[in-house]
Amino acid sequence: MHRTILAALLLLPMAFAVPAFAQSEEDVMARIENLHGKSVEFGEAFAQLQDGFLFDDPAMIAELGIYPITVNANGESYDILEPQDLVDNFDSLLTPDTIAALSSQDYADLIVTSEGVGFANGALWMSLVCVDDSCSDSNWGIISINN
């Protein structure tokens, strides 16, 4: 009896983990819309990020940044102040493993929280950020990169 209860308790977390991975693109889009709004604009930013990796174009990726961006790489934390800094140091700020994970990101595997959207198990985070003080307009952008 005790072994059955112990086995059930050990397997319980797995039962709750499965649905988190069993989501469709539509589920992700709906969750983004419900938590943040502008899910169509997020889709456009996602496509631009994917194209940047596909065409090996760091400038396209850097355009999505909300500066300063915090980049954790090489055991240190860097504040990237402008797009050109990211472009110039792209290969040293993003490891090959991070680039590979971001390049192959599936929409259905995104992490969607109230703080933003995570790519590649949190290697990159995008959020909806206000453009002006009144926050009458906002854009999706990269807020952090974690290797």
| 73 exposure class (CB count in 10 Å sphere: 0-12, 13-18, 19+) | middle
Which pLDDT score, from 0 to 100, does residue 21 have? 53
pTM of the model: 0.82
Mean pLDDT of 108-136: 94
Which pLDDT score, from 0 to 100, does residue 135 have? 87
Q: pLDDT of 9-34, one tens digit each? A: 333 333 333 334 568 999 999 999 99
